[in-house]
Amino acid sequence: MLVVLLAIGVVTAAPLPPLKSVTPPGVRIGVAVNQAQSDGRDQAALAIVTAQFNSISPENLLKWEVVHPEPDRYDFGPADRYVEFGRQAGMFVVGHVLLWHEQTPPWVFAGKAGGRVDRDTLLPRLREHILTVIGRYRGRIGGWDVVNEALDEDGSLRKTPWLEAVGEDYLVKAFEFAREADPGAELYYNDYNLWKPAKRAGAIRIVNELRARGLRVDGIGEQAHWGIADPPIAEVDTAIGELSAGTGVKVMLTELDIDVLPRDPDMWGADLSKKAKIRAATNIYPNGLPDDQQRRLARRYADIFGLVVKHRDKVRRVTFWGVTDAQSWLHDFPIPGRVNYPLLWDHQGRPKPALGAVVEALRGTR
C-alpha cells in the first residue's frame, strides 16, 4: 500500500532516482527537445534532460523544411547545436526525420517544368538530402527515423507525394540512401497507431520487405501518442509482442505522451466557430490537473512502464515527446488552445505523481 501511495504521490517520499538509473539495461530512455532547449535558452528543462535521460530526439529541427528550406540552402545551425549538446552530455542522439509527407517544403514536390514532380526528379532530391544530412552527422547521430508515417489506418501505403511520384519502392530507396550515407547508424521505420492490428500488419510488411532486400533496419517505432484510456493496455502488450515477433527488429516507443483531454471526432475538419464550441466543451482543466486525474495519469504510466519491464528484451528505447507539460504539442492538437498535461513534469517543471509511478514501475529491473 505504501508503495502505491508513494507512486501516486500521496505520501512525500525521498528524492526519486533519475529515470536513466532505473531503466533496464539495454533500454534507452529518451526525450524530445525543442530548439529553445538545444540552444541553451531553457536551462531549467535542460537540467531535467541531462539528469534524467540518456537519449535525445529533435522535436522539429531536423525536419526537411527546417534544415533544407530551399534547394540550394541548408540551415544546419540549430541541428549542429542539438547534436553537440547531446554529445557533450553523453547522450544517444536520434535523428528525426528524413522522409515524411509533412513539414517538407513545397519545392521538394514541384516538377522542374512546373506541375507535379516525377520519379526521376524526386529520387535524386531525396538522395542528395539524405546524403547531406546524415553525412554531416556521420558517427555522431546514432540512429535515424528514415521514413515516418507511410501507412494509412488500413495498413496500405498512404497516398503521399512520395508514393505518387516515386512508386512503392520509395521506402527501399530511402533506406538504401541512408545506409550509403552512414553504414554505422541505426535505421528505423516510425509510425503511429501500430497498436491497431491492420496498421501494425502494414508496418511489419514494410520492415520485412526492406530486410528481404538486405537493407538495414534496426527498429520499428510506435509513436505512442496515446490517450488516458485508449489504447487498452492489453492491446499495447499485444502490439509490442507482435511487432517484435513479426519482424525480428527492436521495438521503440518513440514519441510517448498521454492526452488527458476528451477527443471528439468533430475536432478534425471543424470550421472555426465549431472549433470554438468544441474547445469550450473539452478544455476541462484550464487551471491545473485535479488530484484524481493526476492519479489516473500516474496509473496509466505505471501500466505502460510495466509493459516496458515485461518486454525489456524487445524494447530498445522509450522516448517522451517533450520534457515538461509546457512544451507539449498537445495544447494545439487536435484543436488549438487547450491546456493539456501529457508528460512527467508539469508546466512549471515540477515532477508530477506520474514520474514517481514510472520510477516505481522500473525500479528493481537493474
Exposure on the CB side of residue 18, measured as CA atoms within 13 A:
13
The rounded distance, in Å, linking the Cα atoms of 113 and 362 is 57
Q: According to CB under 6 A, which residues from 133 to 162 bind ligand G3I?
A: 148
Q: Does 103 bind ligand G3I (CB under 6 A)?
A: yes
The three grid cell numbers given for residue 218, joined into one nine-digit string = 534496426
98 vs 126 by CB, closer to ligand G3I: 98
Nearest to 24 by CA among 352, 354, 311: 311
For the CB of residue 242, give the shortest distance to ligand G3I in the complex, in Å.
21
Nearest residue (beta carbon) to ligand G3I: 329
CB of 165 to ligand G3I, least distance (A): 21
Q: Is 254 helix (H, G, I), strand (E, B) or coil?
A: strand
CA distance to 218, 340, 361, per residue, from 299 (Å): 31, 17, 10
Instruction: Report the residue count for the chain.
Output: 366
Minimum CB distance to ligand G3I smaller for 299 or for 331:
331
Footprint on residues 278-307 left by ligand G3I (CB under 6 A): none
Question: Does the protein bind ligand G3I through residue 257 (CB under 6 A)?
Answer: no
Q: How far apart are CA 138 and CA 125, in angstroms?
A: 19
Least spacing, CB of residue 342 vs ligand G3I, in Å: 11
Q: Which is nearer to ligand G3I, 224 or 308 (CB)?
A: 224
Question: CB 58 → ligand G3I: shortest distance, Å?
Answer: 9
Region 7-36 residues binding ligand G3I, contact defined as CB under 6 A: none
Among 59, 186, 255, 360, the one annotated catalytic = 255
Binder of ligand G3I out of 60, 121, 156, 283 (CB under 6 A)? 60
Q: How many CA atoms lie within 13 A of 97 on its CB side?
A: 22
Which of 329, 349, 363, 365 forms a contact with ligand G3I (CB under 6 A)? 329
Helix, strand, coil abundance in the chain, percent, nearest 5 = 45, 15, 40
Q: Is 149 an active-site residue?
A: yes
Residues 362, 96, 165, CA angle at the centre, nearest 5°? 135
From the CA atom positions of the chain, what is the Rg in Å? 20
User: Binding ligand G3I by CB under 6 A: which of 84, 102, 180, 313?
Assistant: 102
d(CA 95, CA 254): 12
Phi/psi zone of residue 9: left (φ > 0), alpha (ψ -120 to 50 degrees), beta? left
191 scored as a contact of ligand G3I (CB under 6 A):
no
Nearest-approach distance from CB 329 to ligand G3I, in angstroms:
4
Per-residue cell: 65: 523544411
**Site for ligand G3I (CB under 6 A): which residue of 42, 186, 222, 255?**
255
- Judged by CB, which is closer to ligand G3I: 295, or 341? 341
Report the 10 Å Cβ neighbour count for 2: 9
* Shortest spacing between CB 55 and ligand G3I, in angstroms: 16
Residue (184 or 336) nearer to ligand G3I, CB: 336
Amino acid in position 228: I
The minimum distance between CB 103 and ligand G3I, in angstroms, equals 5
Shortest CB 287 distance to ligand G3I, Å: 24
Active-site position among 149, 176, 186, 360: 149
* Range 199-228, binding ligand G3I (CB under 6 A): 223
Work out the number of other CB atoms within 10 angstroms of the CB of residue 93: 21
185-194: b (≥16 Cβ within 10 Å) or e? bbbbbbbbbb
| Residues sharing a CB contact under 8 Å with residue 359, sequence separation 6 or more, in sequence order | 7, 16, 17, 19, 22
Q: Should residue 59 be labelled a site residue for ligand G3I when binding is judged by CB under 6 A?
A: yes
Spell out, one character per residue from 65 to 94, where the chain touches ligand G3I: x when CB under 6 A holds, - when not. Answer: ------------------------------
Give the separation between CA 97 and CA 133, rounded to whole angstroms.
Answer: 10
The site that binds ligand G3I (CB under 6 A) totals a number of residues, namely 8
Active site residues: 149, 255
Residues that bind ligand G3I (CB under 6 A): 59-60, 102-103, 148, 223, 255, 329
